[in-house]
Amino acid sequence: MLSACQTTRERLLAEGYPAPFASGFEDGCGSGRHAAQALGEFRKNVPVYLSDRQYATGWDDGFRQCQASAIADFQRHVGIDSKEDRDWRHAKDQGWGKALGR
């Protein structure tokens, strides 16, 4: 019951992940969820992202996982899943990857 009240960061810390990774994952996850929406908002501590590999790895993992989850939830809700839609999403994701790449 208490675990339902934990933040993502607290849950990851309780599972033994390093603090920078947990912070990065939480920031990246929120950004990934927002990226799946029309007007997304990103949260990334860029100086830490560039200097702390654990934070960067956590951010990247959180972004990818939560963006994919949010997109899948939306698709289930509206029933979108044609080959054309998948091809378009793939091309869009490739573009985002290039734009956000290091």
Question: Minimum mean pLDDT among 12-16, 36-40, 57-61, 69-73: which range?
Answer: 36-40
Q: What percentage of the chain exceeds 70 in pLDDT?
A: 87
- pTM for this predicted structure: 0.56
Q: Burial letters for 52-76: b for 16+ Cβ neighbours within 10 Å, e otherwise?
A: bebbbbbbbbbbbebbeebbeeeee
Residue 56: band (very low, low, confident or very high) from pLDDT cuts 50, 70, 90: very high
Note whether 67 and 35 are within 8 A (CB): yes
